[in-house]
Amino acid sequence: MVPSTELATALGIQAVAMLVPGPNQFLLLTLSQRRPATRLSAVVGIATAGLVFSSGACTAIYFAGEATSERVFLLLNVLGSLYLIYLGARMLIDMVAPGRQPLVEQRIDEAPAARWHAFPSGFLVNIANPKSAVFFGSVFATTLPLAAMTPSDYVLVVLLFFVNSVIVHGGVSQAFALPGLQHVLRARRRLIASGSALVFLAFGLTTLAHVGLRLTR
């Protein structure tokens, strides 16, 4: 049985950590003018990356495979970082290229199939998010008594953290889509696009440098 106090504490820390500005919030900001289905797709993608981190931490503790788990996470970090760099560079190019519409202004989700294109964006952005890696590698693993838990406890915990992520990031996405805030965002869309692009580039390059340092140790 998972101790309720420790679980509530870990979920609360996760919620606070998710509200701290970072690449996830900037991605949701760039998608704030899209349809609800598209924004939800990105939210589920972000939460799915968290599910990978949480299930990986549980698996590492249960099977004592920390080294293998770390290598897999580092590979995922690299893939996510490259996507962040691509996304940031694409946004900057769209801003300066004649006739190109910045990503933050595009409305490409009219077709139902296109709405799920935001899912991999959410997943890759969060899988490269150092904040998520630190949380699930430290706070998650130390706040909860993972070593004393059963496989069914692991499933319950992983699902709760997934749902928590969907609720919090969904709330952030919905807040960005409020009409009053949208009026402000439209007035500053160029600044938001350039700021988001620089954030993506900074996080992507920083994470790549971090992975490089870990591999050279």
**pLDDT (average), residues 44-63:** 84
pLDDT tier at 162 (50, 70, 90 boundaries)?
Answer: very high
Rounded distance, CA 180 to CA 183, Å?
5
Please spell the DSSP secondary structure of 45-114, one letter per residue.
Answer: HHHHHHHHHHHHHHHHHHHT-HHHHHHHHHHHHHHHHHHHHHHHHHHHHHHHSTTPPPGGG-----SGGG
Domains in the chain: boundaries: 4-216
**pLDDT (average), residues 153-179:** 92
Predicted TM-score (pTM) of the model is 0.73
pLDDT tier at 40 (50, 70, 90 boundaries)?
Answer: very high
- pLDDT at position 186 is 65
- Pairwise pLDDT comparison (61 vs 99), residue with the higher score: 61
pLDDT tier at 163 (50, 70, 90 boundaries)?
Answer: very high
**pLDDT (average), residues 184-195:** 70
Q: pLDDT tens for residues 77-94?
A: 677 678 778 777 877 887
Q: Give the gyration radius of the chain's Cα atoms.
A: 18
**pLDDT (average), residues 100-108:** 50
- pLDDT at position 45 is 95
**pLDDT (average), residues 189-211:** 76
> Closest by alpha carbon to 139, among 20, 54, 22, 46?
54
